């Protein structure tokens, strides 16, 4: 058998590891920040009706410009945006990949601020873009001064911010994004995958788009919108940016079924987002209950919590898994990350964690299985 090392693979891909969040079948899966509430049945019926209609013309290629979907996304985003400002792909990961295909690539670099979403550096490497790491301030924040200093130091072609940041939950202020934009001639991307979980009335980078043609705000239907399995991500930017992305996207990249399903779901965005307040309440419950168990959660503006004070993250991860609760070890020493689930799932997580005993000594090995 040929091994990966024997293949004539690109030299820059040798020794790389793929994205690999475990996909175990467990009772309580709180590891990839999905909305764990199912799609409401009435919405599901409307989506199915739209899919049924789309199937009747599936012999033809789909609308390459996915105009109806872009209209739906623009209406959902508001802020005076129209279809010309909106682009979409099979998950925001594909949107980010298209951005680096168009604006990164060999000989170019993208600046990110770890710890951050692991896919940002993986997409950089897959597109042959050099990944350069910027330093954060205390508490994982990025001040305007820090952003400008790191841009001046590394002179990147593209800057990636993640706000709120995965896995820390930290927001990036609009003044930091404005300062970064002014400090570079390159593209500035704000990954707002968790924007719907921001505190009510909190401004998003969408408010900065006017007059900033190099600013791109990426979003996804995978998190708050309860649509992870459908694979729909999108971005808002100046119309000229979508012209650039048309140069690198594959023709007809969004299937007729994806377009139909997403357009139908967007017609019911109120119902699709009805659980967001519930999820925020469960996040806040995790934030208040973890200290009582001896753990140190970080403030979170998203649907997950990173918590410190874990003596042995790998052991605690395994002990929780043995109790049917899957969370995430993101590789930051003495921390673990958990997504806020339904009330019952969140209770199951907190009870399983409490049953492990004193966090400073690692999980108890006496599992009552």
Please give, one letter per residue, the 3-state secondary structure of 127-194: CCCEEEECCCCHHHCCCHHHHHHHHHHHCCCEEEEECCCCCCCCCCCHHHHHHHHHHCCCEEEEECCC
- Rounded to whole angstroms, the Cα distance separating 19 from 96 reads 15
CB-nearer residue toward ligand PLP: 214 or 231 = 231
CB nearer to ligand PLP: pick between 191 and 196:
191
How would you classify the pairing of strands 304-308 and 336-339? Answer: antiparallel
117 CB contacts (<8 Å, ≥6 apart)? Answer: 162, 165, 166, 167, 191, 193
Nearer residue to ligand PLP within complex by CB, 127 or 222: 222
Q: Beta strand 215-220 with 233-236: parallel, antiparallel or unpaired?
A: antiparallel
* CB-based contacts of 223, cutoff 8 Å, min separation 6: 33, 34, 35, 193, 194, 196, 197, 303
- Give the pairing type, strands 187-191 and 215-220: parallel
State the minimum distance, in angstroms, from the CB of residue 204 to ligand PLP. 14
Taking the complex as a whole, the smallest distance from the CB of residue 218 to ligand PLP amounts, in Å, to 7
Chain residues that interact with ligand PLP, rule: CB under 6 A: 33, 91-93, 117, 162, 166, 191, 193, 220, 222-223, 228, 233
Q: How far is the CB of 205 from ligand PLP (least distance, A)?
A: 14
Closer by beta carbon to ligand PLP, 136 or else 223 = 223
At 165, phi and psi to the nearest 5? -80, 135
Compute the least distance from the CB of residue 96 to ligand PLP, in Å: 7
3-state secondary structure of 125: helix
Judged by CB, which is closer to ligand PLP: 156, or 233? Answer: 233
Q: Provide the minimum distance between the beta carbon of 369 and ligand PLP in the complex, in angstroms, as a whole number.
A: 32
Q: Rounded to the nearest whole angstrom, what is the least distance from the CB of residue 33 to ligand PLP in the complex?
A: 6
| Closest CB to ligand PLP among residues 220, 259 | 220
CB closer to ligand PLP, 165 vs 282: 165
Give the nearest distance from C-beta 192 to ligand PLP in angstroms.
Answer: 8
Compute the least distance from the CB of residue 90 to ligand PLP, in Å.
8
What is the biggest distance separating any 2 CA atoms in the chain, rounded to whole angstroms? 62
Of 220, 208, 150, the closest CA to residue 183 belongs to 150
Looking at the Cβ atoms of 157 and 191, the one nearer to ligand PLP is 191
CB of 163 to ligand PLP, least distance (A): 9
> Using omega within 30 degrees of 0 as the cis cutoff, is the peptide bond preceding 131 cis?
no
Closest distance of CB 196 from ligand PLP, Å: 12
Roughly how many angstroms between the first and final C-alpha of the chain, as a whole number? 40
Q: Which CB, 197 or 349, lies closer to ligand PLP? A: 197
Interatomic CA distance for residues 311 and 22, integer angstroms: 22
d(CA 131, CA 149): 17
Give dist(CA 184, CA 36) in Å, integer.
39
Q: Which of 195, 242, 235, 197 is nearest to 216 (CA)?
A: 235
Cβ-closest residue to ligand PLP? Answer: 91
Of 93 and 121, nearer to ligand PLP (C-beta) is 93
């Amino acid at each position: 058998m040929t091994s990966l090392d024997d293949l004539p693979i690109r030299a820059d891909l040798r020794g790389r590891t793929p994205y690999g969040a475990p996909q175990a079948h467990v009772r309580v899966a709180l590891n990839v920040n999905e909305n764990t509430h199912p799609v409401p049945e009435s919405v599901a019926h409307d989506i199915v009706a739209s899919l049924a209609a789309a199937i009747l013309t599936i012999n033809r290629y789909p609308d390459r410009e996915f105009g109806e979907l872009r209209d739906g996304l623009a209406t959902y985003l508001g802020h005076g945006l129209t279809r010309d400002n909106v682009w979409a792909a099979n998950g925001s990961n594909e949107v980010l990949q298209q951005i680096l295909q168009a604006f990164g690539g060999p000989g170019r670099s993208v600046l990110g601020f770890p710890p951050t979403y692991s896919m940002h550096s993986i997409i950089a490497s897959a597109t042959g873009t050099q990944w350069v790491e910027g330093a954060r301030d205390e508490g994982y924040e990025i001040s305007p001064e820090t952003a400008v200093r790191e841009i001046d130091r590394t002179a990147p072609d593209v800057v990636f911010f993640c706000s709120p940041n995965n896995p820390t939950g930290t927001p990036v202020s609009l003044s930091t994004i404005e300062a970064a934009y002014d400090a570079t001639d390159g593209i500035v991307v704000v990954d707002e995958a968790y924007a719907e979980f921001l505190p009510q009335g909190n401004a998003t980078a969408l408010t900065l788009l006017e007059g900033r043609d190099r600013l791109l705000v990426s979003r996804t239907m995978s998190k708050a919108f309860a649509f992870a399995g459908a694979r729909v991500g999108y971005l808002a930017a100046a119309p000229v940016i979508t012209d650039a992305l048309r140069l690198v996207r594959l023709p007809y990249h969004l299937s007729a079924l994806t377009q139909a399903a997403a357009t139908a779901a967007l017609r019911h965005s109120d119902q699709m987002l009805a659980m967001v307040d519930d999820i925020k309440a469960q996040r806040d419950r995790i934030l208040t209950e973890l200290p009582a168990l001896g753990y140190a959660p970080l403030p979170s503006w998203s649907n997950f919590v990173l918590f410190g004070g874990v003596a042995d993250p790998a052991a605690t991860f395994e002990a929780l898994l043995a109790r049917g609760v899957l969370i995430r070890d993101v590789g930051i020493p003495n921390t673990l990350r958990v997504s806020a689930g339904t009330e019952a799932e969140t209770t199951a997580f907190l009870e399983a964690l409490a049953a492990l005993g004193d966090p400073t000594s690692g999980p108890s090995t006496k599992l009552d299985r």
